[in-house]
Amino acid sequence: QQPVQSPQAVILREGEDAVINCSSSKALYSVHWYRQKHGEAPVFLMILLKGGEQKGHEKISASFNEKKQQSSLYLTASQLSYSGTYFCGTSSNNNAGNMLTFGGGTRLMVKP
């Protein structure tokens, strides 16, 4: 079953923060986050594994709440280059071969 992402879309001014959520009805082993710009391939941001860890990547970080089967992506001090559609992809076990089930995406637009 597809994970649910919220919000579906968000508009920010440069420098503002945003949080994108990804919720699953199934127990999760891993959550992947990708960003896709219009007409381009999805680009990997980070992976979070079962264990409730938090990871950081420049001004983009993420958390994984295993009990709630949720992950959140945090974008701080947003830049114009952050614009795009963000997808979470989930896997339910470590033998799933990274066969990810992707959410419907969150469209982020950062304005000057």
Partner 1 sequence: DTGVSQDPRHKITKRGQNVTFRCDPISEHNRLYWYRQTLGQGPEFLTYFQNEAQLEKSRLLSDRFSAERPKGSFSTLEIQRTEQGDSAMYLCASSLMMGDSPLHFGNGTRLTVT
Residues interacting with partner 1, by CB under 8 A? 2, 29-30, 32, 34, 40-44, 47, 49, 87, 89, 94-95, 97-105
Give the C-alpha separation, 101 to 90, whole Å. 5
How far apart are CB 82 and partner 1 at their closest, in Å? 18
57 neighbors 47 (Cβ within 8 angstroms): no
| Number of residues in the chain | 112
How far apart are CB 65 and partner 1 at their closest, in Å? 18
Cα angle 51-53-54, degrees, rounded to a multiple of 5: 165
Q: Which residues contact 90 (CB under 8 A, 6 or more apart)?
A: 3, 22, 24, 26, 28, 30, 31, 32, 100, 101, 102, 103
How far apart are CB 105 and partner 1 at their closest, in Å? 5
- Would you say 11 or 43 has its CB closer to partner 1? 43
How far apart are CB 76 and partner 1 at their closest, in Å? 22
- Would you say 25 or 95 has its CB closer to partner 1? 95
- Would you say 16 or 109 has its CB closer to partner 1? 109
